[in-house]
Amino acid sequence: MPRPRVVIVTGLSGAGLSTAIHTLQDNGFYCIDNLPIELLWDTLALIDGAEITADKGYAFGMDIRNTQFAERFPKIKEELSNRVKLDVLFVRSEVDVLEERFGTARRRHPLARIAASLREQILQEDSLLKPVEQSADAILDTTHLKPHQLRRLIEERYSSHGQPLRTLQLVLVSFGFKHAPLWPIEGLHDVRFLQNPYFESKMREKTGLDKDVQDFVMKTPEATETFNKIRDLYRYCLPRYLAEGRHFLRVGIGCTGGQHRSVTFVEKLSQEFQQTPIPGVIVSVVHRDVQK
């Protein structure tokens, strides 16, 4: 049985620990933040017994709130490495930046009871965590990083077999404007200006799922040009949405009744993206009004 993949996320308070944990959680890791050291081995027993499972692995957030954690960490890492595929990520930042972040967020430092000033608290934490930092497999300095840049670095580090850690789910929705607006929506395209199969008696009871309806909708130069422009727009935008950090994108294509033209376009777009996939993008289809 392969050893489970475990990431321990630790470092200085305010340096981006929550961002790191949330990034791993959003990308398939089973995450536990502020895990007490006393519960670590019980948690691993649950993992070994398949009581808790995860697609990509497990991530534990551990910080200075548990003073034994820092003191015992080198020994803990040695024991863990014999049991799991372990990676220790240490996140840090410069003192001046941490002071500014705590001041902006108006948060209380975990060592507020030990030292008088915020600067002293940060320096004390830095000193206490030195054994952990020295044992880390990776150290990320977030002094000059924006949150989305930190997320990207974490995703790059924990991607599997060259595949991106994060995916973007693209949902293509056909609908009819006469039934109800489509909301929420990130992209909207109106194809009511194209010729309507509804006015062809042999196609009125059919839908854009039928090939003869699709052929009818797509036979004009206007339909082909419109389709190509929409396709090219998303081939350009989707990799950039993915890089920016989006996980979900809903694109609606509407016609009058939501049965012919919009369904045709959604089906054709889905086929295009399946035949020539965009790395990291998963496509699904919803025909909201096709049965109305």
Contact criterion met (CB below 8 Å) for 193 and 227: no
pLDDT band per the 50, 70, 90 thresholds, residue 163? low
Whether residue 105 has pLDDT greater than 80: no
pLDDT band per the 50, 70, 90 thresholds, residue 166? low
Average pLDDT of 195-206? Answer: 95
Whether residue 210 has pLDDT greater than 60: yes
pLDDT for 70 = 83
The Cβ of residue 84 has, within 10 Å, a number of other Cβ atoms equal to 18
Q: The tokens of 181 are what?
A: 């607006």
Nearest CA to 33 out of 61, 10, 58 is that of 61
Tokens 């308070």: give the residue.
13
Tokens 């699904």: give the residue.
284
pLDDT for 162 = 53
Calculate helix-pair angle for 211-218, 261-275, nearest 10 degrees: 100
**Spans of all domains in the chain:** 5-157, 168-287
Question: What is the tens place of the pLDDT at every residue in 29-42?
Answer: 999 998 888 888 89
pLDDT band per the 50, 70, 90 thresholds, residue 164? low
Please name the residues in contact with 130: beta carbons below 8 A apart, sequence gap of 6 or more.
none
CATH class of 5-157: alpha beta
Q: What is the pTM of this model?
A: 0.63
pLDDT for 160 = 67
